[in-house]
Amino acid sequence: MKDLLSKAIRRSSIANLQNQEEHGPKLSRVLSAWDLFVAGFGCIIGAGIFVLTGVAAAQHAGPGIIISFALAGALCALVAMAYAELASMIPVAGSAYTYARASLGELISMLIGWDLILEYNVGASGVAVGWSGYLQAILKEAGISLPAALSHAPSSIPWGSLLLTILLVGGAFFSFRRAYQLRFA
């Protein structure tokens, strides 16, 4: 039991992490800094502004939504500054997982890694559902009406968002660069 606890709180030194980064297996960098900026900005705009802003303003916050966006923006800026500080202190790949591994130990870093996977999946699901709703509205305006089995499935599965997610994940499986280009096609 003592051995398990010591492994759970074992930390990696920054020098060891940098050595692993230099001499370990490498992922190929297929996206530039500009690509990452555009993808991140697009996700923020797509998820934050275009998906639920109208519903939130109409049904919940009203004009106070401006204050909500200002507070959310300030919090995002604080998180960005924290990530920038961590990235300058520990300049290796791995995001919050690597930072937690260096400072809090392997158990906490594993939990953070799985939390990030869950976070990205929930976020992608929200964007995909929002996109599906917009696609249905565009098709309806064009006079194309989807069958009820696709637009209002009895099992409440949003088929449009599910197909979009499968398409993008399948593309990323074969070539991340191609999947990235597909997002902006």
Per-residue pLDDT reduced to its tens digit, 127-142: 777 777 777 788 889 9
Q: Does the residue 172 lie in any domain?
A: yes
Q: Does the residue 25 lie in any domain?
A: no
Count of domains forming the chain = 1
Residue 158 and residue 132 in contact, taking contact as beta carbons nearer than 8 Å: yes
Which DSSP symbol is given to 180? H
Q: Does the residue 43 lie in any domain?
A: yes
Residue 10 three-state SS: coil
Q: Does the residue 23 lie in any domain?
A: no
Return the structure tokens found at 31: 């996206």
Q: Rounded distance, CA 153 to CA 66, Å?
A: 35
Q: Does the residue 129 lie in any domain?
A: yes
Site of tokens 């998820």: 47
Q: Does the residue 4 lie in any domain?
A: no
Per-residue pLDDT reduced to its tens digit, 4-34: 667 766 777 777 767 777 776 666 667 777 8
Q: Does the residue 7 lie in any domain?
A: no
Domain range holding 80?
Answer: 12-17+31-183
The overall pTM is greater than 0.75: no
Q: Does the residue 2 lie in any domain?
A: no
Per-residue pLDDT reduced to its tens digit, 72-108: 889 989 988 988 888 888 777 777 878 888 888 888 8
